[in-house]
Amino acid sequence: MSFNWPVGINATKEKLGEQFDNLHLDTRISASHAKPLSNIDPVVTPIYHSSTYRFKTVQQFNEHNHGSNFVYRRCGNPTTENVEVVINEIEKGAGTLVYNSGLAAISAVFLEFLHSGAHLITMAPIYSGTSSFINETLKRFGVEVTFVNVETETNFADAIEKAIRPNTKMIYFETIANPSMAVPDIIGTLKIAKKHQIKSCVDATFSSPYNIQPITLGADFSLHSCSKYIGGHTDVIAGCVTTKSYDDWKALKLQQLTTGSSLSPYDAALLTRGLKTLALRVDRISQNAQKISEYLEAHQKVQQVFYPGLKSHPGHKFAAETMKQFAGMIAFDLGTAQNAINFIESLHIIVHAVSLGGTESLIEHPYSMSHGAQLLRDPTGATVSPGLLRFSVGIENVDDIIADLEQSLNKL
Ligand SMILES: Cc1ncc(COP(=O)(O)O)c(C=O)c1O
């Protein structure tokens, strides 16, 4: 039989020779490790959980890029670098950084590119965590803020331009606003930012990176809560920022080393796995959501439906000119809070939970859950209708989702 599979080599023993055998057992256990194969190239990047990396010489440590090595997990890791490479490929930027949450990514951009006395123009409504960071942290550090309402301004880009001051340093907005699904004039706003040489940052979480790539449209930063469509399986909290320029990437990278906001390799591996099916999931979800929003719009018990893929949606034009599809977030109004609560509690398949972007359909009642209390203290005066429901469409068979909606609507 010619079975010649080699036994793994103990790298420390190979280096020390006989000297190694003279060491005590406990030391030999501690010092033993398999010598890595020189041509190792796994199809799927492994989870490197080591917090630190061996160096052959002091000189190697001091070489450019530490002689093609990593140093310490907070500063970089092969598993997180792998997911950064994949996201950057989608986003077409200079580089991507992943963070331990979407909000960590958002706050990193604000903290790096704003300062005391700088002015930020942003959108209202905006994700409640982002709005809290702006109102409770940035303002405390002396950043001036103007909110421009995407639901009430007839010309959003124009209103943004009018809000510009000599000290305006950043324009920040979302591609689809939560919970009304309002869509700003993305191209127009990015043009204004460019014209005035102000940095622009786009949170494209609700659209998914598969449907829109803000950097190709002129944004300086594109960011996502990867906890949503990128992870895609409701089992990871993570965020990412992709920059248009390498200088901005370097500034954020240096900041990440000192704030310690990098992503764990376990979560990075979940993101890598999620990304493998991003296209399939987002195609299916977008198709499902289009059919479901049309069904809801035609239903007499539904007062209003907000989905960027509907022609009736006020931001449809802006969504259609920038997005491949319109992803899975639908809001619809059942008139009263009681109707909305009764409806949610009668559903069989659609899960009653916050968050979005996973394979399963999720629904929540913003007025009494994610948005009610927060909006009461929102300085922009944003409101949410008591009968509004926020629905994250999943990958289930669309007929079964519609049947679940139907049976619950019939009970109202
Ligand atoms: C649009 C948007 N941006 C950012 C975030 C924050 O992401 P994370 O929960 O991963 O911190 C969320 C979370 O729901 C969100 O909806």
Q: Which pLDDT tens digit goes with each residue over 99-138?
A: 999 999 999 999 999 999 999 999 998 998 999 999 999 9
Pick the catalytic residue from 228, 244, 281, 390.
Answer: 228
Beta-carbon contacts of 138 under 8 Å, excluding residues fewer than 6 positions away, are 110, 114, 120, 145
Confidence of residue 172 (pLDDT cuts 50, 70, 90): very high
Buried b (16+ CB within 10 A) or exposed e, 113-152: bbeeebbbbbbbbbbbebbebbbeebeeeebbbbbbbbbe
Q: What is the pLDDT of residue 83?
A: 98
Percent of all residues in the chain with a pLDDT value above 70, rounded to a whole number? 97
Model confidence pLDDT, tens digit, residues 303-332: 999 999 999 999 999 999 999 999 999 999
Q: Where are the domains of the chain?
A: 1-37, 73-276, 278-410
Model confidence pLDDT, tens digit, residues 329-343: 999 999 999 999 999
Q: Give CATH superfamily name and number for 278-410.
A: Aspartate Aminotransferase, domain 1 (3.90.1150.10)
CB of 393 within 8 A of CB of 228?
Answer: no
Model confidence pLDDT, tens digit, residues 249-275: 999 999 999 999 999 999 999 999 999
**Per the structure block, which two tokens stand in for 113?**
């590119």
Q: List Cα–Cα distances, 183 to 153, 225, 392, in angstroms.
A: 12, 18, 17
Of residues 164, 178, 72, 75, the one with CA closest to residue 121: 164
Ligand 1: centre distance to CA 107 (Å):
11
pLDDT surpasses 90 at 378: no
What integer is the mean pLDDT of 346-372? 93
**Degrees (nearest 5) of the Cα angle 201, 112, 167?**
70
Per DSSP, 29 falls in state H
Q: What is the pLDDT of residue 61?
A: 94
Q: Is 396 left (phi over 0), alpha (psi -120 to 50) or beta?
A: beta
pLDDT surpasses 70 at 75: yes
pLDDT surpasses 90 at 58: yes
Q: What is the pLDDT of residue 28?
A: 98
Q: Look at ligand 1, atom 16, and give the residue with the nearest C-alpha.
A: 127
For residue 125, whether the previous peptide bond is cis, meaning omega lies within 30 degrees of 0, is yes
Of residues 220, 208, 199, 368, the one with CA closest to residue 284: 208
Model confidence pLDDT, tens digit, residues 275-295: 999 999 999 999 999 999 999
Percent of all residues in the chain with a pLDDT value above 90, rounded to a whole number? 93
Q: List Cα–Cα distances, 186 to 97, 124, 199, 395, in angstroms.
A: 23, 14, 14, 28
User: Could you give the 3-state DSSP secondary structure of residue 132?
Assistant: helix
Q: What is the pLDDT of residue 13?
A: 97
Report how far apart the first and last C-alpha atoms of the chain are (Å, whole number). 74
Instruction: Check if 74 is active-site.
Output: yes
Distance of alpha carbon 185 from alpha carbon 90, whole angstroms:
22
Which is the closest atom of ligand 1 to the Cα of 228?
A: 10
Q: What is 73-276's CATH number?
A: 3.40.640.10
Quote the mean pLDDT of the chain: 95
pLDDT surpasses 80 at 372: no
Which is the closest atom of ligand 1 to the Cα of 104?
A: 11
What integer is the mean pLDDT of 161-178? 97
pLDDT surpasses 70 at 379: no
Confidence of residue 180 (pLDDT cuts 50, 70, 90): confident
Distance of alpha carbon 356 from alpha carbon 179, whole angstroms:
12
Residue 100: burial class (beta carbons within 10 Å; 0-12, 13-18, 19+): middle
Ligand 1 site residues (CB inside 6 A) read 101-103, 127, 129, 174, 178, 203, 205-206, 225, 227, 237, 239
Q: What is the pLDDT of residue 128?
A: 87
Beta-carbon contacts of 29 under 8 Å, excluding residues fewer than 6 positions away, are none
Distance of alpha carbon 135 from alpha carbon 131, whole angstroms:
6
Per-position DSSP letters for 284-333, written without gaps between them:
HHHHHHHHHHHHHHH-TT--EEE-TTSTTSTTHHHHHTT-SS--SEEEEE
In the block, which residue shows the tokens 């009263």? 336
Q: What is the pLDDT of residue 250?
A: 98
Confidence of residue 178 (pLDDT cuts 50, 70, 90): confident
Top mutation candidate among 132, 221, 228, 261 for ligand 1, by most atoms within 8 Å of CB: 228
Q: What is the pLDDT of residue 381?
A: 61
Instruction: Check if 127 is active-site.
Output: yes
What integer is the mean pLDDT of 72-96? 97
CA dihedral 355, 357, 363, 366 (to 10 degrees): 50
Q: What is the pLDDT of residue 2?
A: 82
In 80-155, at which residue ranges do the beta strands (DSSP E only) sit?
Answer: 95-99, 119-124, 144-149
Establish how many alpha carbons lie within 13 A of residue 66's alpha carbon, considering only the half-sphere containing its beta carbon: 12
